[in-house]
A and B are shown apart, each in its own frame.
Chain A
Amino acid sequence: MSSDPNTDVIHGTLDLLILKTLSLEPLHGFGIARRVEQISGRVFKVNPGSLLTALKRLERSGCLESEWRQTENSRRAKYYALTPAGHRQLEVESAEWNRRSSAVQRLLAAES
């Protein structure tokens, strides 16, 4: 558990981040983590426990499919890719996120 609040993924958004990341190209676990970290400008940091659990859950609910591949340095790595259901889920979740974040922004604007 980190003491730096910036590195925690906002609760409930990890799925969205994974889906969005995988919509670009199939990746393995660390790749996803790195990509999330890079794109978010190091705001979000993902630890393997949460990430792999989320991947397992998404795979079971049919949003992802996975396959084991050999990497360049000849290790086994599990690559995840979005399924059609995953694409749909991404649309639903990003719409939901936009709705919520704009609501929050409106609230903040009204406050100031």
Chain B
Amino acid sequence: MSWWRHLTAGIEALARRTETERDERDEIQHFLEEAAAEYEARGWTRREALRKVRLEFGGEMQAQARLRDHGWENLVEALWTDLRYAARRLRGEPVVAGVTVLTLAVGLGAATAIFSAVETILMQPLPYPDAEHVVSVWDVGEDGAPLELTFGTFRELIERSHSFEALAVFKPWQPNLSGTEVPLRLIGQSVSSGYFETLGVRPEIGRDFRPQDDRMGGPREVVLGHSVWRDHFGSDPEIVEKTIQLDERDFVVIGVMPASFENLLSPEAGIWSSLQYDMSQGRAWGHHLRAVGRLRPGLQLSAATREVEEIAATPWSDFPRPQWASLDRGLRVVRLHDEITALVRPALLAILGAAGLLLLIVCVNVTLLLLARGVRRRGELALRRALGAGRKRLIRQLLTESLLLAAIGAVLGLVFAELGIHGLVSLGPSDLPRIHAVSMNSTVFAAGLGLAVLVGFAFGLVPALRATETTSHRDLAYASSRLTGRRGLPQALIVVEVALAVVLLVGSGLLLRSLEGLLGVDMGFEPDRAQTMQVLVSGDRFDNRVTEAFFARSLEAVRSVPGAASAAFTSQLPLSGDYDVYGVRFGSEDGVESGEGGMFRYTVSTGYFESMGIPLLRGRTFDRRDEVGDHRVAIVSESAARTRLGGLDPIGQPLRVGPADLPPYTIVGVVADVRQASLALGDAAAVYVLSGQWHFADDVRSLVVRSAGDEGPQPADLRAAIWSIDSNRPIVRAASLRELVNRSVGERRFTWSLVQGFSVASLFLAAAGLYGVLAASVDQRSREWGIRSAMGASRRANVALVLRQGLALTALGTTCGVVVAVVITRGLVGMLYGVSNLDPATYVGVVALLIAVATLACGIPALRAGRVDPVTALRAE
């Protein structure tokens, strides 16, 4: 228990410091007195005895100092003294301390926030048990892209595959919740019975879907998400077994999911119904089901892939496959985590890289600041050494100061990190997976803190070692005069800093050029002065005829709203995330087909092209005659007309889409290509038909209203017009076309704005570093300026000398930076649009910007060098 005695004795000594000190003094004095008394007894005089004792045993102070070195409480005391002294020193130079702390805090905060997000999104396992076993299963389309599964393939896999512990399919489901004040559409999923089991989650209350109920005509049951249960059912604890009305049908609530359930396959979904797949009429063969599976424990992904490929390659007669679901191109098994993060990984890594570069610049800058401080304090330190302070003691003092700076920087940095994470969560694009799960975790916290301490040690040690390595008279001379010191290290650091800033600026410039390029593309429609909203019908009442009539009457009502120049309905809107593709065949009925393939399918009302501002290139648009006539007409996009018809004049050509037993459409017009899936993807083949001439009535349609003047119709008026026809129709997703465009580049804008922020910060830091180093050098060399002036150098010559020095450093740094940027921006290539990573304009712009900023940063100290008065400079000190 000796540590305990050490501890208590130490605490006692700390608590009763004066008594402890008195006791120590008494004991030492007693020792020396006794020794002296002995000499006196042997006949020496008192004075001589005391002198002998001093010679023999040393002085009282020395003994006390020895005694002081022992025991932890004295270390604490020394540390406390150091800390108080450090705080006093930092208060004495608030600007340097403030800038250092703030720089450090910004760097640490940004890096910690970004790393927290990246760690959560890319590295943490998904929030499911054994999440690495959860996979997606995809069919493969003609173009090699993943394609949704058909129910037929799902059934075959269930029967034949042994790789999966559980396998489930699902599709979107958006029921209309009845009995609410404003018609309300819920976002949900229709899932087969193994869905929750596959993910490994269970309802918090109630039960999961039963396999035996997952059949056509089975009981109508729903599971509620926690937020839907809370927001629309008041967290009713007795909700299970109660009946609710969805799409004007009764559903029994069987369970409620826990609040912690993150549904990554459809993050917005808050209600689930049983799929109860309708296999009649050959409908088992539509590619519209997403599949999720859980691999058997211990099974490798590659083994599962091999097995499903094997199944795809060897059809069984028990499971006849149609030609379009023949699995000729195999099946794909993808780890769910990889699938979810695949799209955002490059952007996140780019942001992380930028944050890392910023942190590096911050470290360099703080080193520069502390080095400059060390140089300024050389005289003081030399003086303290000359007065007897040990080297260890001085290093400890300097380390304490820089650690104190680092600690304050770290605390502030953690505050910044917390704010940064909040900012990321609220400003980040909503399609960033798991963004709401991002929080500062302890690993990141510890990493940040460790980094801060390391930075503190490193930054404290360098100046401390340099400042205390010698105690020559030359150093002592710093106390009073100023000599030219070594400037190699700061200059090297400046070059590094400028180079890093160039890299960041180039990256940010390239991303900006891509963004501008994207927003500048010909979208194929006119995004300004048009607003959109989505209208839904659902329920048994809405058969094809009723649905069509409802949309037709709604359109009439909307067209009469003041301020609406034109209006139309469409089954899908560009850049809205809608993605509706059908196989289309061109050519005459006698089998001479000149082209086949998937095309975007739009069912629209008349006036759609006018409302969207899509230019008509050839032929005509739909008009009233088409609405009443039996003649089935279609309009195709320019790229479809160009590539799918083998050079034939498109007007008058037949086109087949939908069920084969229906007569073909005749092409009557060609319109411009529209960017449907994303601004970056051009040449979208598209076919437009009138909604009344399609074989079923789409129950979700988007309204597009073009404004007559700058002030368009109020969204509330548009809603009121539709509700005047049927007040139970939910209206959602109200947005202007411009907003859809901006949202579609949200992730790019987000990436760019972060990288932009970091690069601007880096530019400031580099400029500040340049300024600081030059200013210090000008101050140190004031005598030199004086001598030069006295020898006849003009003011201008002095200014030019400093400018040249600063700009030479900038040029070197810029050159290094450009070289590094050329290499590093290769990693960005996948995120660039319409601009090469070697884009000359970007590089030239960055270099020009840097030189301009550097000139400004060098100019101020340069002018000061020019203003030095020779007489004052030579007389000073």
Contacts and interface: CB of A to CB of B under 8 A. Distances in A.
Contacts of A84: none
Given A60-B6, A60-B9, A49 B30 contact: no
Given A48-B57, A52-B27, A76-B30, 9 more contacts: A30-B35, A47-B63, A48-B63, A49-B64, A50-B66, A60-B5, A62-B2, A75-B33, A78-B27
Interface in A15-67: 28-31, 33-34, 45, 47-53, 56-57, 59-62
B62 A29 contact: no
Contacts of B23: 68, 78
Given A48-B31, A75-B30, A78-B23, A56 B66 contact: no
B67 A53 contact: yes
Given A47-B57, A62-B2, A52 B71 contact: no
Contacts of B24: 52
A86 B85 CA distance: 41
Interface of A: 28-31, 33-34, 45, 47-53, 56-57, 59-62, 68, 71, 73, 75-78
B65 interface: yes
Size class of the contact patch on chain B: 20 to 34
Interface in B142-201: none
Contacts of A73: 37
Given A60-B6, A60-B9, A62-B5, A52 B69 contact: no
Contact of A60 (B27, B37, B71): B71
B30 A77 contact: yes
Contact of A29 (B5, B27, B37, B66): B27
| 6 closest residue pairs by CB, A with B | A49-B66, A30-B34, A49-B63, A48-B63, A30-B31, A48-B31
Contacts of A71: 30
Contacts of A47: 57-58, 63
Interface in B1-31: 1-2, 5-6, 9, 23-24, 26-28, 30-31
A34 B37 CA distance: 12
Contacts of A76: 26, 30
Contact of A48 (B2, B6, B28, B69): B28
B473 interface: no
B5 A48 contact: no
A50 B33 CA distance: 17
A48 B32 contact: yes
20 contacts: A28-B31, A28-B34, A29-B27, A30-B34, A30-B35, A33-B35, A34-B38, A45-B56, A48-B58, A49-B64, A49-B65, A52-B24, A52-B67, A53-B67, A60-B5, A61-B2, A61-B5, A62-B1, A62-B2, A62-B5
A37 to B, nearest CB: 10
Contacts of A31: 34
B interface SS class: helix
A77 B70 CA distance: 21
A62 B4 CA distance: 10
Given A30-B34, A48-B63, A49-B62, A57 B70 contact: yes
A29 B69 contact: no
B2 A56 contact: no
B425 to A, nearest CB: 53
Nearest to B56: A45
A102 B62 CA distance: 36
B30 A28 contact: yes
B57 A56 contact: no
Contacts of B63: 47-49, 52
Nearest to A28: B30
Contacts of B64: 49
A49 B28 CA distance: 8
Interface string B58-86: 10001111110111000000000000000
B54 to A, nearest CB: 11
A28 B64 CA distance: 17
A interface SS class: helix
Contacts of B70: 53, 56-57
Given A47-B58, A57-B70, A33 B31 contact: yes
B30 A29 contact: yes
Contacts of A59: 9
A60 B58 contact: no
Nearest to B62: A49
A109 B35 CA distance: 40
Contacts of A61: 2, 5-6
Nearest to A32: B31
Contacts of A53: 66-67, 69-70
Nearest to B69: A53
Tell me which of B23, B65, B67, B71 has the highest count of chain A C-beta atoms within 10 A of its own C-beta. B67
Contacts of B28: 48, 52
B6 to A, nearest CB: 5
Nearest to A50: B66
B27 A49 contact: no
A33 B35 CA distance: 10
Interface string B114-158: 000000000000000000000000000000000000000000000
A30 B26 CA distance: 12
A56 B31 contact: no
A1 B501 CA distance: 56
Contact of A30 (B30, B58, B62): B30
A52 B57 CA distance: 12
Given A29-B27, A75-B33, A78-B27, A49 B71 contact: no
Nearest to A47: B57
B67 A56 contact: yes
A66 B30 CA distance: 15
A21 to B, nearest CB: 15
A76 B22 CA distance: 11
A76 B29 CA distance: 10
A49 B26 contact: no
Tell me which of B56, B64, B70 has the highest count of chain A C-beta atoms within 10 A of its own C-beta. B70
Contacts of A75: 30, 33
Nearest to B68: A53
Nearest to B36: A30
A73 B34 CA distance: 10
Contacts of B69: 53
A67 to B, nearest CB: 12
B205 to A, nearest CB: 61
Contact of A49 (B33, B56, B67): B67
Nearest to A56: B70
A13 B663 CA distance: 111
B225 to A, nearest CB: 63
Given A29-B27, A61-B5, A49 B35 contact: no
A71 B70 CA distance: 27
B5 A49 contact: no
Contacts of B57: 47-48
Nearest to B1: A62
Contacts of B71: 56, 60
Nearest to A76: B26
Nearest to B55: A2
Nearest to B34: A30
Contacts of A33: 31, 35
A45 B56 CA distance: 9
A29 B35 CA distance: 11
B14 to A, nearest CB: 14
Contacts of B67: 49, 52-53, 56
Tell me which of A31, A51, A59, A73 has the highest count of chain B C-beta atoms within 10 A of its own C-beta. A51
A19 to B, nearest CB: 15
